[in-house]
Structure 1
């Protein structure tokens, strides 16, 4: 997946916005203001995604391209390295899971 396809998929999710609060090279995607995905723009090599803690551990054990979240809370975030083993459909599933993890914590009036 390239960065344009990744960006288009993230923005296709309801109530998603994008911004760059950490500098010109880090693109973030938010649902109602809460971040669910971060990635580098210049070098699109990995993506930080929120994850259910139990699933995060399982994914790290099963896939060598899933690591504890770089510069993030390692209990709730994974860094997914974009490698040939990480298919577009699998990556979309991880992005949707991240979105859902954040969305379910939102106040009822925002859902």
Structure 2
């Protein structure tokens, strides 16, 4: 999945929008005011990643803790969330090794996990569009 396709899919989620609270190099995707994804270009010098992210766009997505571990076991390009709570976030390296449908499923899950933490009123205003 390319960066452009990923960004388009992220922004297709109801009431999602793009923010840059960490500077112009990190795209932060929010639903209402809550972050559900980040997207940035890996430089290769990220501590603890063994250079896996070098030259690839990388996406942080919220994940159920048990599923997060399973996805890391299945896909070598899924690693513990870089600069995130590693139990609840994964970093997906967009190197072409994960099928687009699987990445879309991970994005959908991240979005829904964040929406579930909102008030009932906010949840309903979002979920009615799914």
CA RMSD of aligned residues (A): 1.5
Structure 2: 5+ residue stretches without partners: 43-54, 124-130
TM value normalised by structure 2? 0.80
Runs of 4+, deviation exceeding 6 Å:
none
Equivalent residue for 1:33? 33
Q: Match of 2:86? A: 74
User: TM (normalized to structure 1)?
Assistant: 0.93
Q: Give the drift of 1:86.
A: 1.0
Structure 1: runs of 5 or more not aligned: none
Q: Deviations over 1:38-59 (max 9, x none)?
A: 0115865211100011110111
Max Rg structure: 2
Change (3 A) 1:26 1:35: same
- Whether the 8 Å CA contact 1:25–1:40 is kept in 2: the answer is yes
Q: Is the 8 A contact 2:56 2:95 kept in 1?
A: no
Number of aligned positions between the proteins: 111
